Structure 1
Amino acid sequence: MESLTATYITRAEIWLCITTLLYFLMNGAQIFETLIFVPKWTSSPPDTFKLLQDGKGASLKFFWIILHSLHEIAFILAIIFCWKIDPVRNWLLGLFLLHAAVRVWTLTFFAPNIIQFQNLAATSSISQEIAARISLWRNLNYIRVAIYIAISMGFIPLCIKIFNSRL
Structure 2
Amino acid sequence: MWTPTVLLIAATTVAACISLGGGLYEYLVVDPAWPKRPDIIQPTRGGVSRKRFWIPAHTVFEVLLIVSLIVGWSDAGMRIALIVALVSHAVMRIWSLFDFVPKALAFEKADPAGVDEAAAVRWTRRSILRLPLDLITVGAMIAALVAAAA
TM-score (norm 1): 0.81
Matches within 5 A, 1:23-38: 23-38=16-31
Number of aligned residues? 149
Equivalent in the alignment of 1:134: 120
Q: The residue matched to 1:41 in structure 2 has which SS?
A: coil
Equivalent in the alignment of 1:160: 146
Post-superposition offset of 1:132: 4.2
Equivalent in the alignment of 2:42: 53
Aligned partners of 2:85 and 2:136 also within 8 Å: no
Q: The residue matched to 1:39 in structure 2 has which SS?
A: coil
Q: Which amino acid aligns with 1:50?
A: D
In the alignment, structure 1 segments of 5+ residues that lack a partner are 1-5
Equivalent in the alignment of 1:120: 110
Equivalent in the alignment of 1:13: 6
Aligned partners of 1:51 and 1:59 also within 8 Å: no
Equivalent in the alignment of 2:129: 143
> What is the Cα-based RMSD across aligned positions, in Å?
1.9
Aligned partners of 2:42 and 2:49 also within 8 Å: yes
Q: Which amino acid aligns with 2:108?
A: Q
Identity, in percent, stands at: 23
Deviations 1:98-155 (A, max 9, x none): 2111101111111100111122234x344xxx44432331112111022202220222
More divergent stretch after superposition (27-36 vs 154-163): 154-163
C-alpha separation in 2, matches of 1:161 and 1:36: 35
In the alignment, structure 2 segments of 5+ residues that lack a partner are none
Equivalent in the alignment of 2:85: 95
